[in-house]
A and B are shown apart, each in its own frame.
Chain A
Amino acid sequence: MMNSINNLELVKKLVNEAAPVIKIEQIDNQQLAFEIEKRDVHHVLTVLKNSGWKQLSYMSAVDWIDANKFELVYVVFNWDKPVYVQIRAMIDRNNPEMDSILPIFPGVKYYEREAHEFFGIAFPGNPDYHKQLILEGWDDLPPLRKDFDPSAYSDRKFPSREYPADFSVVDPKNKSIEKRKERKVRANALRTGGNKQ
Chain B
Amino acid sequence: MKEMKLFLGPQHPGMHGNASVHMFVDGDIIKRSYLLPGMLHRGFEKQMERKLWVNNISLIPRVCVPEPDINEMAFATAAEKLLKLEVPERAHWIRMIILEFARISSHLMSYGGLGGPTGNYTLMYHAHADRNLILDIFEKITGARVYHQYIVIGGVRKDLPEGIENDMHAFINSLESRLTEYRDLGIDNPTIIKRIKDTIMLPEEVVWELGVTGIGMRSAVGKTYDLRKVVPYARYDQVEFEVPTSDYSDARATLDIKIKEVQQSINIIRQCLTKMPEGPVRVKPGRGQSMRWTVPAGHAYSPIESSRGEFGYYMVSNGGTNPYRVGVRGASYPQGLLGIEKYLPGTRIDDAALWVDTMGICSPEIDR
Contacts and interface: CB of A to CB of B under 8 A. Distances in A.
A and B together in one complex: yes
Given A33-B299, A75-B301, A84-B303, 6 more contacts: A27-B300, A57-B329, A62-B324, A73-B327, A84-B301, A148-B46
Interface residues of B, number: 36
A28 B81 contact: yes
Contacts of A54: 208
A144 B46 contact: yes
B211 A56 contact: yes
A11 to B, nearest CB: 14
Contact of B314 (A60, A109, A148): A60
Pick the most buried of A28, A106, A107: most chain B CB atoms within 10 A of its CB: A107
Nearest to B368: A134
Contacts of B286: none
B213 interface: yes
B327 A86 contact: no
Contact of A110 (B43, B50, B81, B333): B333
Contacts, number: 92
B230 interface: yes
A88 B325 CA distance: 14
Contacts of A144: 45-46, 325
A127 to B, nearest CB: 12
Interface string B187-223: 0000000000000000000001111010000000001
In which size bucket is the chain A interface? 35 or more
A62 B327 CA distance: 9
Interface of B: 37-38, 41, 43, 45-47, 50, 81, 208-211, 213, 223, 225, 230-231, 298-301, 303, 310, 312, 314, 316, 324-325, 327, 329, 333-334, 337-338, 367
Contacts of B230: 79, 82
8 pairs of A and B residues whose beta carbons are closest in the complex: A107-B211, A134-B38, A110-B337, A58-B329, A60-B327, A82-B230, A79-B225, A62-B325
Nearest to A49: B208
Contacts of A75: 301, 312, 314, 329
B81 A27 contact: yes
